[in-house]
Amino acid sequence: MEGNEITSPLPLLDGAGRPLNFGWARGPFFEYNPPFLGGAPKTRINETERYIIFSPTHILIFEVIDGGFLGHLGVSIVSMKDKGRSTQNIDSLFPLGRFNLPNGPEQGAVKIREKGCLLDFVPMEGGARIIKVDIPRFGRHRYLRGEVALSPPPAAQSIVTAAPWRRDKWAFRLFRCSPWYVTEGVMQFGAVDLYFTKDNAWGIHDWKREVRPRRDIRYWAAACGAAGGRRIGFNAGYGSADSGAGTENAFFLDGVIHKLDQVAFHIPPANWLREWALTSNDKRLEMIFTPNQERTGRGSVLLHSVTCRQVFGTFSGRVILDNGETLTFWNITGFAERRKTRF
């Protein structure tokens, strides 16, 4: 397995704000210091908090993005049964840090109130999280309100990566994914109650801080669920960032990382709703992704644009764990996406 594993805290940036240390870690060892980013234009600083909740019938996505040029508050409900989708997006120009997103993935609450809509991410003791939402007019004039609790397994690890871009001395991506939460709670969606119960609902926390390059493309897939009574999940991705010091590819069993090297997405070019294959170069991971539905999105302001193509579905396959054991899994709910950024 290639890469530079970081096992103790160290700064991500030097005194001038240039990215200094790269690699991957099992915990939040990279110290992110926004005051040190003075050398990079503020409009290139991007901070993202995203939670994705899965059940056999629905996927919920909650995200807050401070993208310099464009701020974004988004909530989506995806029905896996009738293939329906409802989304509430609220965009604002030039947030430039006013969302006050925390400097670390385990630090501070995120509470955003925009245009009468509330989205609140509350960290609790032991790594648990509570998500609260109150949107009076959501999708065809219905409302969405409620809360869910996300609980981690004991001594859970995350996949954390810090990666640079070869031709841009300021650009970097600091990324952390935790694909192993158990989810419990209720969301009231108009006249319908969406129930999330233990051992039947799961969650992912995606945390990202970066200085973007002028152009970027990234492929990302993640899922979580259960196999044989144990919690499983994975994160896989690649793009234009330099992952030579450590990829973001990892499989999780009961919250423990089994690190993978490179993972390739074999996407049918003519129809993204046909089956995909995901395979690792070390032959440890083989998966089939069966899409259920697809959505696309685009946002732009001035010369900045973001396009996203996202597919929801289920993953089945096998993985060879660090101890040589082979684990087989079936129909784990998740998603895959391609995101392009340009300015």
All structural domains of the chain with their residue ranges: 5-342
pLDDT at res. 44: 86
The rounded average pLDDT for each run of 10 residues, N- to C-terminus, in the chain (343 residues) is 87 88 96 81 89 93 88 90 87 84 88 90 93 88 92 96 91 96 95 92 96 92 94 96 95 97 95 96 96 84 77 97 96 94 79
Neighbours of 337 (CB within 10 A): 19
CA 227 and chain centroid, separation: 22
| DSSP-assigned letter for residue 20 | -
Q: Which residue has the tokens 């030097």?
A: 14
Cα–Cα distance measured from residue 113 to residue 111, given in angstroms and rounded to the nearest whole number: 7
Length in residues, the chain: 343
CA–CA dist 52, 88 (Å, integer): 15
Give 124-131's long-range contacts (Cβ < 8 A, gap of 24+): 124/149, 126/152, 127/152, 127/156, 128/152, 129/51, 129/181, 129/205, 131/51, 131/53, 131/62, 131/185
Paired sense of beta strands 230-239 and 215-227, if any: antiparallel
Cα 249 to the center of its chain, rounded Å = 13
Q: Please, are residues 194 and 212 in contact by the beta-carbon 8 Å criterion? A: no
- Provide CB contacts within 8 A for 221, sequence distance 6+: 234, 235, 236, 237, 265, 278, 289, 315, 334, 335, 336, 337
CA separation for the pair 314, 316 (Å, rounded): 7
What's the CA gap between 90 and 9, in Å, rounded? Answer: 36
Paired tokens of 193: 């109650």
pLDDT computed for residue 130 by the predictor: 97
Structure tokens at 314: 């289920």
Burial environment of residue 284 by CB neighbours within 10 A (0 to 12, 13 to 18, 19 or more) = buried
Q: 77 is written with which tokens?
A: 């409900």
Which of 119, 123, 121 has its CA nearest to residue 76? Answer: 119
The letter for the amino acid at 74 is G
